[in-house]
Amino acid sequence: MSMIEAGSERPLRLCWVGKRYFASSRIVVMATSTFLVQRLASIPQTSSVVDTSCFKELLQYPYKHSRYVPYNHSHRSSLVISRQLSSVRPVMSQVSVKEKQATWNPPPLENDKRSLHFVKYHGLGNDFILVDNRDSKVPKISPEEAVELCNRNFGVGGDGVIFVLPGVDGTDYSMRIFNSDGSEPEMCGNGIRCMARYIAKLENAIESRSYKIHTLAGLIVPCVREDGQVVVDMGPPNLNPAQIPTKLPGNEKGFVVRAPLNVSGKTWIVTCVSMGNPHCVTFGEQGTQDLDLDALPLEQVGPLFEHHQMFPARTNTEFVQVLSPSHLRMRVWERGAGATLACGTGACALLVAAVLEQRAGRKCRVDLPGGPLEIEWREDDNHVYMTGPAEAVFSGTAFL
């Protein structure tokens, strides 16, 4: 299967793609209509073909403007740019080069399907589908529909769907989230940053602004800075085993720190922390010095931790390598989402665990597969603070 090559002259058409129009072996580029209009508007009026070099940025930076996806027969309808192939049928609307605008007319919805407008965001590659749900206290879609929407082959693709709901008890907004498996976590650290940026966009905020957001884990206060970074007061960590929850016994202080955990015949040394959701943090197996994250079979061992009998509500698991007292590296297996590129609450939990195990200081850079976060556990208020980015990827309408 081949991609559109930047710089090659191929006749292109703007097509509405439905489940009858493309074979499953074709590759398409999905992007926002706004970005395409900007590019297409720059094409000379006398051009008979589109030079795809104008899409070079789109091809090089898929997270910024688009995402390559294998197309298959039951993919949700979407706006695409594709090579003009003889197998394409029918072409619903062709780019009007003379008018220097992209115009298109979608076919009527089949079987009166509902539509859902969304904006895709990611925080260090941990990606979410954001839905404006301010007009109702009930999420607009069900957990089962969220599973379909998060499917990377048959839907939009994402680690979860986040709903921006009206605030309660004096808060500005409320947050609900459905994971890609349909489960509902208490909250999500990367997700809360994405939600804060999305709210700032909805409010057309141009200055630094903080928001009080009600979550199932309690009050969370993110602040969107003018540089686009989001600082989140994640609150104090909870070390009470019953409230994490975990069945592992606590030490003399009642905390689960450096506790042995048998996982499929191997003993891992773990520390358990709740950041509003459960986390099991490990720096390696018993008797080992440093954990080799590159050699870690995460897809195999991650589910064993998540569904371990010692975690009645399942657990997120962070595997950590100490690079220095102020620099940590981690890979994560998220409850309900599996291996992800980043986990904000996990980064907070691992710093707390590192401090409790006397492996690091209270302020660290944490490297995740998707990029770094700055985490601080302050002594004066016992709160954990997370600083990191959140970026919009594209917007669209899904048919349910």
Residues annotated as catalytic are 188, 343
Q: In this structure, what token pair is assigned to residue 99?
A: 């008018």
Q: Do 97 and 107 touch, CB atoms closer than 8 A?
A: no
Cα–Cα dist 345/189, whole Å: 5
C-alpha angle with apex 26: 22 to 29, nearest 5 degrees?
95
Entry field: residues in the chain: 400
Nearby residues of 247 by Cβ (< 8 Å), 6 or more positions away: 241, 309, 310, 311, 312
Dist CA 176 CA 164 (whole Å): 7
Could you give the count of Cα atoms lying within 13 Å of 144 in the half-sphere of its Cβ?
1
Residue 198 in contact with residue 130, Cβ under 8 Å? yes
Question: 317-345: b or e for each residue (b if 16 or more CB lie within 10 Å)?
Answer: bbbbbbeeeeebbbbbbbbbbbebbbbbb
What would the two tokens of residue 53 be? 């070099």
| DSSP summary character for residue 359 | S
Q: Quote the distance between the C-alpha of residue 119 and its chain's center.
A: 12
Q: How far apart are CA 79 and CA 96, in angstroms?
A: 16
**What one-character DSSP code corresponds to residue 112?**
G
DSSP 268-318: EEEEEEESSSEEEEEEEETT-SS--GGG--HHHHHHHHHT-TT-TT--EEE
What's the Rg (C-alpha) of the chain? 23
> Can you state the angle between helices 189-202 and 344-356, rounded to 10 degrees?
140
Q: Give me 335's structure tokens.
A: 């409850």
Which residues are registered as beta bridge partners of 321? 329
SS3 145: helix
